[in-house]
Amino acid sequence: MSKQQLAASEQLDVVGRKPFPLVRALVFVGLVLLGITFVLPFVWQVLISVSSLTDVDLLTQLGYPPDLKPENYGEVFEKVEFARYFFNSIFIAGWATLLQVITCAMAAYAFARLSWPGRDKVFFLYLGTLMVPGVVLMVPNFVIVLRLGMFNDYLGLIIPAAFSAYGTFLLRQFMLTVPSSLDEAAAIDGASHWRIFTQIMLPMARPGLIVLAIFAFLFNYNSFFWPLILIKDDNLRTLPIGLMAFDSTYGRDTPLIMAGSLMAMIPPIIVFLVLQKYLVKGIQLGAVKG
């Protein structure tokens, strides 16, 4: 493609024609207006979180709090074990993510690169369970975790999340795209499967691993139902459960609730801003958890 053609194709929109300047301006205005509806609630949240309790109702009339009260943020940590919830959430989501990526990558290697009798049957079993909705698994898993003695325990939140049929499937698809000539060459050079796996497969499938890691982290960080039924002790609560309890105890103190929920939103935002490229690609490849 010549330079001119390239310049021309850059100007083409999805409809294949160069849109009129007016249309482009209107679309931009539309995007900005929509952007406001998406940003406004968060601006509002910030404003409430620095208001004093008595001023919350005035916000609708004034649009700005009469007294700025950033101490609300410190108060959240005094009122409840917020730092503890934060640690629990990160700790559990972190371990679950790490273990899930490791177990899924290893299993995916076995499905994508090793040939063994019954491989396709086992893989079909994995695929089949993806069709069964999550609502079916909750109740029996609760009984299983109860019997394994992991009730009200970090382990009960981490271990069931450390395996995933979906993640195995996702990584297998990624590994299939890695050219097999690479590991065949390594095998001829006498490399063991473990070596091929760690030194060729994992680096080559890195985007896939990151996609799975993001999904697993966000999923476990936001996880609500499972810790809700499994955790009884206050100091084992994760952020979602801690926030819910906070709301039911201090629900009238809206500024505190907003300060707490705003802080809980920070880790996903950081993950997203840093790894946005991978996440978007992952979703667009159809890696959506159903």
Partner 1 sequence: MKVGSVRRRTLIALAFLLPNLLGFLIFTAGPIVFSLYMSLTDWSLTKHNQFSDQPLQFVGFDNYAKILWGSESEFFWDYFENTLFLMIGIPISIAGSLVLAIMLSTKCTPTRLGSRLKSALIAGGVTVLACLGAWLVTTPTMDPAFADEAARAVMSDETGLTDLSGFQVATLRSHAAILAVAVLGGLITFGLGIGQVFFRTVFYLPTLLAGVAMFLLWKTLYRPKGGLVNAVLQPVLDTLDATVGAVPPFMWYALGVVIWLITLALCVKLVLVGLDRLKHNEAGIAAFCARLGIVATLGATGWFVGYWSAQLPERALLPTGLAPITAAQLDSVSTDLQALASGDASLIAGAIEELKAIAPVPVEQTVESLVKPATVAGVELASLSQAVESNAGASFDGYTAGEGLQAPEWLISATWAKTALIVMGVWLGIGGGNMLLYLAGLSNIPPELYEAASIDGASGWQQFIHVTWPQLAPTTFFIVIMSTIGGLQGGFEQVMIMTQGKADTRVLAYYQYELAFTDQFQLGLASAVGWVMTGFIFVLTAVNFRLGSQLTND
User: Three-class SS of residue 198?
Assistant: helix
Ranges within 64-83 binding partner 1 (CB under 8 A) = 64-66
> Of the candidates 2, 37, 121, 232, which one interacts with partner 1 according to CB under 8 A?
37
> Of the candidates 3, 4, 5, 16, which one interacts with partner 1 according to CB under 8 A?
16
Q: Is 175 in the site for partner 1 (CB under 8 A)?
A: no
Q: Is 252 in the site for partner 1 (CB under 8 A)?
A: no
Q: Is 43 in the site for partner 1 (CB under 8 A)?
A: yes
Closest CA to 255 of 109, 62, 59: 59
Identify which of residues 9 and 235 has a Cβ nearer to partner 1 in the complex. 9
Sign of CA pseudo-dihedral 183, 189, 193, 199: negative
Number of residues that bind partner 1 (CB under 8 A): 117
> Of the candidates 74, 83, 120, 125, which one interacts with partner 1 according to CB under 8 A?
125
DSSP string, 62-87: HSS-SS--THHHHHHHHHS-HHHHHH
Closest CA to 215 of 88, 96, 38: 96
> Of the candidates 35, 74, 83, 274, which one interacts with partner 1 according to CB under 8 A?
35
Ranges within 185-204 binding partner 1 (CB under 8 A) = 187, 193, 197
Q: What angle do CA 110, 275, 236 make, to 5 degrees?
A: 80
Ranges within 102-121 binding partner 1 (CB under 8 A) = 102-104, 106-107, 109-111, 113-117, 119
Smallest gap from residue 257 Cβ to partner 1 (A): 6
DSSP string, 236-259: G--HHHHHHHHHHHHTT-HHHHHH
CA 231 to CA 80: how far, in whole Å? Answer: 16
Mark the segment that binds partner 1 (CB under 8 A) among 30-38, 74-82, 90-98, 204-212: 30-38
